[in-house]
Structure 1
């Protein structure tokens, strides 16, 4: 006698959408800690914590596909971490960032582009001539450093061709370290600030940044460009940020030369936090005060009149705050 068929006898291949879903995700306890030292078209070059000489190529995996990963990020890798050619590991976790250097394409764009994560120092590289210095761009870099949690350093190059005194005097009230370099000159003052720290070298094209990187890291072999004699602008020689190990200890990140630096997402209060001596006085300002011009309503002017704040420091702060409305 033939058996009656029911629904259990019908074989149906489950569709992709009918598979059971769970919120439980693997904890990747076996993941290997690493730091991102280079990014190129969706591929991430990572240096392992346990084997600093091994570089591993990786891609973002799983839930990390929508998470931003940049040079300097501390990440966790699974899969093949042998570093063998043609093999890829997966980035499954990004640790919380301690600092972020970022900028916007222009001041009208509020979307920030992160450049480097977890750096300690921002070295603003500026030539005293050929090309001529651009204090507006230096000021914008300072704002980005203060806003992102980095300690700024001003490095003046080509001091064999012109006197750096005017630039040094301009930035003295800010209290930031200023070092000078010249071809073949001593780099000990700069190295003292960089050794055993993560540093970012940043500046516009043609200031000698790649030359400086090659002197700091002789094995780097970074390409060197020339300055156009007509426009005074340099040729971009670095196309992406890359982290290099200093022989003395620490890491230096070389970044592409820039011609603009947008601060569209930076508010005055975020800059003011870096000026601890002025921030307390600013707390007495009216809501919405921009702290830009001398005004009887700005508590910073009252603090200067009463001797509780330095006039030169306030002038420097206002110059930095004014960079959002001025061309670099």
Structure 2
């Protein structure tokens, strides 16, 4: 008998397996059904812990391993198992994230390919901007509008501090877009804003110092959100909200307060997505060259407007938003 053995002489008894450090338990793709899971709404996220509303109980939960890399954000409808008593030391687990009706996204800047979901399942984006102290920043407003159209959310322009400066010029600038707006003043009534928010899931977005926290405290007095003052040198406010938080309105509906932002990257938004918010122009874009940016000289939208199919101010607004998508946020 030769020392060498033919390959077909080996069988499973000849195989020696070194047990791995994690044990010899076979891996499986089967996951628990979690039929006992209950539905919750994510109200806040803080250092890997998720504050959820389950029924009338506020529960602290962590992510289950089976979620993998799937994100969990404020506004998500989730399935929760474990201890849902709401006691101080209780900890439940989020095992599933429900389908999202909308997702408000942003990137760090316009070259960053990584998009971050800020809020899920909201149906209205409230763009809060001060008319003075600090001065309004139309380019930031434009970028927030782009984000709302991309997410399929209804935009609402909330102009604060009208006691310091009139809103006429800013209102006129956005009239061609047909964006609804409300005007508030410091210590003034907010009945119109309250009516716009009733029964809806709304996200408040804006620069620091524009008055978001003041509005939140007026809408939900028990929220006790910290209020900052604008630096007289830089004209900027200080971040007083460190993370997004959902708050239930007394008359029905929810508002989600977000930290003040200084930029709103839109690297994830395609021009075609933005065009969908302009149905009066979308039909004319069918004659555009392939991969048209709608900013180039041979764009067919100019001829579409010249033929009377849409208003020139609407095309100007579209191009302003497209330029804002590609430019700086300030």
**1:231 to 2:234 alignment:** yes
Alignment of structure 1 residues 127-166 onto 2, 5 Å? 127-166=130-169
Q: 1:253 & 1:14 partners in 2: Cα distance?
A: 47
Q: Give 1:183 deviation, angstroms.
A: 1.9
Match of 1:292 among 291, 295, 304: 295
- Where does structure 1 lack aligned partners over 5 or more consecutive residues? 1-6
Q: TM-score, normalised by structure 1?
A: 0.92
Is 1:300–1:309's contact at 8 Å kept on the other side of the alignment? no
Q: 1:59 & 1:16 partners in 2: Cα distance?
A: 23
Is 2:76–2:97's contact at 8 Å kept on the other side of the alignment? yes
Q: TM-score, normalised by structure 2?
A: 0.92
Match of 1:275 among 249, 274, 278: 278
Count of residues in correspondence between the two structures: 313
Q: Against the structure 1 CA distance between its residues 89 and 312, is the aligned structure 2 distance closer, same or farther, given a 3 Å change threshold? A: same
CA deviations on 1:199-252 (whole Å, 9 max, x unpaired) are: 000000100110011001111000000000011000100000000000010000
CA deviations on 1:90-141 (whole Å, 9 max, x unpaired) are: 0000011111111111111121111000001000000000000000100000
SS in 2 for 1:219: helix
Q: Against the structure 1 CA distance between its residues 135 and 14, is the aligned structure 2 distance closer, same or farther, given a 3 Å change threshold? A: closer
- Where does structure 2 lack aligned partners over 5 or more consecutive residues? 1-12
SS in 1 for 2:283: helix
**1:21 to 2:27 alignment:** yes
- Please name the residue that 2:111 is paired with: 108
Q: Give 1:17 deviation, angstroms.
A: 4.5
Q: 1:133 & 1:23 partners in 2: Cα distance?
A: 53
Q: Give 1:23 deviation, angstroms.
A: 2.8
**1:83 to 2:89 alignment:** no
Match of 2:127 among 124, 149, 158: 124
Q: 2:228 & 2:27 partners in 1: Cα distance?
A: 54
**1:42 to 2:25 alignment:** no
Q: 2:35 & 2:177 partners in 1: Cα distance?
A: 46
Q: Which consecutive aligned stretches of 4+ in structure 1 deviate over 3 angstroms post-superposition?
A: 12-17
Q: 1:21 & 1:162 partners in 2: Cα distance?
A: 65
Q: Give 1:277 deviation, angstroms.
A: 1.5
- Please name the residue that 1:321 is paired with: 322
Is 2:63–2:95's contact at 8 Å kept on the other side of the alignment? yes
Q: Give 1:63 deviation, angstroms.
A: 1.2
- Provide the alpha-carbon RMSD of the alignment: 1.6
Q: 1:186 & 1:82 partners in 2: Cα distance?
A: 39
Q: Against the structure 1 CA distance between its residues 24 and 65, is the aligned structure 2 distance closer, same or farther, given a 3 Å change threshold? A: closer
Q: 2:306 & 2:321 partners in 1: Cα distance?
A: 21
CA deviations on 1:127-159 (whole Å, 9 max, x unpaired) are: 000000000100000000000111100000000
